[in-house]
Structure 1
Amino acid sequence: MSIIGIIITDMFEDVEYTEPAAAFQKAGHQIVSIGLEKGKTVRGKRNQTPVKIDKSLDEVTPLDFDAILIPGGYSPDILRGEERAVEFIKNFFETGKPIFAICHGPQLLITAKVLNGMKVTGWKSIIQDIKNAGAEYVNQEVVVDDNLISSRGPENIPAFIKTSLERLK
Structure 2
Amino acid sequence: MSKVAILMTSMFEDVEYTKPAEQFKSTGHSLTVISHQAGEELTGKQGDAKVISDKGIDDVKPEEFDVLFIPGGVSPDELRADDRFVAFTKKMAFMNKKTLVICHGPQLLISAEVLNGRNITGFKSIQTDLKNAGAIVYDEEVVVCGGNLVSSRNPDDIPAFIEKSLSVMDS
- How does the TM-score come out when normalised to structure 1? 0.98
Q: State the percentage of identical aligned residues.
A: 50
What are the equivalent positions in structure 2 for 1:127-166 lying under 5 Å apart? 127-146=127-146, 147-166=148-167
What is the CA-CA distance between 1:48 and the residue it aligns to? 4.0
Q: C-alpha displacement at 1:66, in angstroms?
A: 1.0
Distance in 2 (alpha carbons) for counterparts of 1:123 and 1:13? 12
- Deviation at 1:47? 2.7
Alpha-carbon distance in structure 1 between the residues aligned to 2:2 and 2:98 = 11
Q: Give the CA deviation at 1:49.
A: 1.0
Amino acid at match of 1:11: M
Report the AA paired with residue 4 of structure 2.
Answer: I
Structure 1 residues 77-98: Cα deviation after superposition (integer angstroms, max 9, x where no partner): 0000000000000001111111
TM-score (norm 2): 0.97
Q: Following the alignment from structure 1 to structure 2, what is the Cα–Cα distance between the partners of residues 51 and 133? A: 31
Residue correspondence of structure 1 range 2-81 to structure 2 within 5 A: 2-81=2-81
- What is the rounded CA distance, in whole Å, between the counterparts of 2:63 and 2:48 in structure 1? 31
Q: Deviation per CA, 1:126-159, whole angstroms, max 9, x where unpaired? A: 0110011011111111111122111111000000
Q: Secondary structure at the match of 1:99?
A: strand
Cα deviation code 1:89-140 (max 9, x no counterpart): 0001111111000000000000000001111100000011001101111111
Hey, what's the Cα distance between the residues in 2 that align with 1:47 and 1:164?
A: 25
Mapped pair 1:102 → 2:102: yes
Q: How many Å separate the matches in 2 of 1:19 and 1:65?
A: 21
In the alignment, the residues of structure 2 paired with residue 90 and residue 115 of structure 1 have an alpha-carbon distance, to the nearest angstrom, of 10
The runs of at least 4 aligned residues of structure 1 exceeding 6 Å deviation read none
1:161 partner letter: I
User: For the residues of structure 2 that align with 1:69 and 1:139, how far apart are their CA atoms?
Assistant: 20
Structure 1 unmatched ranges of 5 or more: none
Question: How big is each residue's C-alpha offset from its partner over 1:18-52, in whole Å with a ceiling of 9 and x where there is no partner?
Answer: 00000000001111101111111111000341111
Does residue 93 in structure 1 map to residue 93 in structure 2?
A: yes
Over the aligned positions, Cα root-mean-square deviation in angstroms equals 0.7
Aligned mates of 1:41, 1:153 — CA distance in 2: 24
SS at match of 1:39: coil
